C-alpha cells in the first residue's frame, strides 16, 4: 500500500508545526474526556445515591441482570482496546496496512459488543424488566435500578456506536491512503475509544456484580 505517497499533508490551519498541532489535538481530546467523565460521573453518583435509598431493592433487582452477557461483553471490549492501541502503534511506525487491519478488528469487536447487548436486551424485554405497569419485580425501587440499567447501558451504547463510526471512518481513510499516518486523528480516536471502554469497566461491576453480594 503506497499510502504515504498520496496522503495529504496532515498540517491544518492555524498550525505552523505538526508536533504542536498533535499536542493541541491531544489536549483537546483530554479536555473532552474530562467533560465526559463528569457526564458519566454524575450518572454514577445518581445511581449510588438512589441505591443508598433502598439497597435491598437494588440488590434484588440486580439479581435479574444477565451476568453472562455482561461478562462476555467486558471481554470483547477489553480486547478491542488492545487492538486499537496496537493500531496506533502500527501507524506510528508507518505500518499502514497493519494499522488498517487492526482498526477493522476494533470496529468489528465494537459491533460484536452491540450485537451481544442486543441479545441481552431481548432477554430483558422478555422478562418484563422495563419499568412500567407490567414490570416483573413490583412497583418499588427495583424499577429505579432498571431505569438506571437502561439509561446507563443505552447511553454507553450510543457512545460506542459513535466510536464504531469514527473507527470505521479512520479504517477507510487509512486503507485508501487518504490520511497521513502522522495525523493526530488516530491517537485522538483511540483515546475516545479507551474512554468508552473504561466506562464499561465501571458499569459492569456496578450493574452486574457489586450489588449481587
d(CA 24, CA 14): 11
| Sole window of 80-88, 108-116, 128-136, 163-171 interacting with another protein (rule: CB under 8 A) | 128-136
Q: Say whether 125 sits in a helix, a strand or coil.
A: helix
Q: Say whether 129 sits in a helix, a strand or coil.
A: coil
Among 31, 75, 78, 93, binds another protein (CB under 8 A): 31
4 sits near another protein (criterion: CB under 8 A): no
Torsion from C-alpha of 17, 22, 28, 33, nearest 10 degrees: -170
Which ranges of the chain does DSSP label H, i.e. alpha helix?
A: 3-6, 18-53, 55-62, 67-92, 96-126, 142-176, 184-204
53 sits near another protein (criterion: CB under 8 A): yes
207 sits near another protein (criterion: CB under 8 A): no
Q: Which of residues 148-177 bind another protein (CB under 8 A)?
A: 148, 150-151, 154-155
Question: Which residues are at the interface with another protein (CB under 8 A)?
Answer: 13-14, 20, 23-25, 27-28, 31-32, 34-36, 38-40, 42-43, 45-46, 49-50, 53-57, 130-132, 139-144, 146-148, 150-151, 154-155
Amino acid at each position: 500500500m503506497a499510502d504515504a505517497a498520496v496522503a495529504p499533508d496532515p498540517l491544518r490551519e492555524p498550525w505552523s508545526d505538526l508536533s504542536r498541532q498533535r499536542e493541541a489535538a491531544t489536549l483537546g481530546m483530554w479536555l473532552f474526556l474530562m467533560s465526559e467523565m463528569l457526564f458519566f460521573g454524575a450518572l454514577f453518583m445518581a445511581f449510588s445515591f438512589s441505591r443508598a435509598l433502598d439497597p435491598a431493592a437494588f440488590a434484588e433487582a440486580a439479581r435479574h441482570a444477565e451476568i453472562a452477557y455482561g461478562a462476555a461483553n467486558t471481554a470483547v471490549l477489553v480486547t478491542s482496546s488492545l487492538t486499537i492501541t496496537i493500531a496506533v502503534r502500527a501507524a506510528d511506525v508507518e505500518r499502514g496496512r497493519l494499522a488498517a487491519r487492526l482498526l477493522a478488528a476494533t470496529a468489528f469487536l465494537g459491533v460484536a459488543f452491540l450485537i451481544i447487548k442486543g441479545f441481552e436486551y431481548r432477554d430483558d424485554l422478555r422478562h418484563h424488566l422495563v419499568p412500567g405497569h407490567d414490570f416483573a419485580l413490583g412497583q418499588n425501587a427495583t424499577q429505579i435500578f432498571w431505569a438506571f440499567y437502561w439509561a446507563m447501558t443505552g447511553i454507553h451504547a450510543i457512545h460506542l456506536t459513535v466510536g464504531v463510526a469514527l473507527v470505521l471512518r479512520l479504517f477507510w481513510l487509512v486503507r485508501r491512503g487518504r490520511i497521513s499516518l502522522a495525523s493526530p486523528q488516530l491517537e485522538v480516536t483511540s483515546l475516545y475509544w479507551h474512554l468508552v471502554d473504561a466506562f464499561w469497566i465501571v458499569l459492569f461491576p456496578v450493574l452486574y456484580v457489586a450489588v449481587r453480594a
